[in-house]
Amino acid sequence: MKVLLHICCAPDATTAYIRLSQFHDVSGYFFNPNVQPFDEYSKRREAVEKLSKAWHFEVIYPEYDPARWFKSVRGLETLREGSMRCKACIAFRLKNSAIFAKENGFDAFATSLTTSPHKDVQFINDIGLRLSKSIGVGYIPSTFRKQNGFLESVRYCKALDLYRQNYCGCLFSLPKVKV
């Protein structure tokens, strides 16, 4: 089966790619207009490029357009991490991934987001399944962090010297800098 893997970052993509590619033909899709500032986006993209080159798999890089993302979370900016803002962000990115998968001949889509111990796996899989039905492309539910998936990702990152970020990605989740 031809699968489009939405990649949120290289660390989370490691375990997701390894597990999916055992059974499927996997291409990555680095759609993350939520990641800011641009320097941070560039670091994450470079890490994904390094991973895909080391492991010999294709990654698609759609246009970086944070204005579209800001529209998707308008009115939710002041909410805390893990709130409706994050759910709107995840839904926005997964919807874009599902549409791209459908329009480009993929049988299904999946996401690396479930590698992270900080994400709501139930919500992610629920939205993925709903999008699958409404858009007409398969979705592969996952919990990549299970069976030491997160620890595996840490090991892969060390072995490949991949950049590991210290915040989810949007400006609202950026850690406060102490002066």
Question: What are the binding residues for [4Fe-4S] cluster?
Answer: 8-9, 86, 89
**Is 144 in contact with 114 (CB distance < 8 Å)?**
yes
What is the rounded CA–CA span in Å between residue 78 and residue 64? 23
Which tokens sit at 73? Answer: 């979370």
What is the rounded CA–CA span in Å between residue 90 and residue 98? 12
Residue ranges in the chain assigned as alpha helix (H): 10-21, 38-55, 66-72, 84-103, 121-135, 149-160
Q: What share of residues in the chain are helix, strand, coil (percent, to 5)?
A: 50, 10, 40
Enumerate the known binding-site residues.
8-9, 86, 89
Taking the CB of residue 178, how many other CB atoms lie within 10 A of it? 4
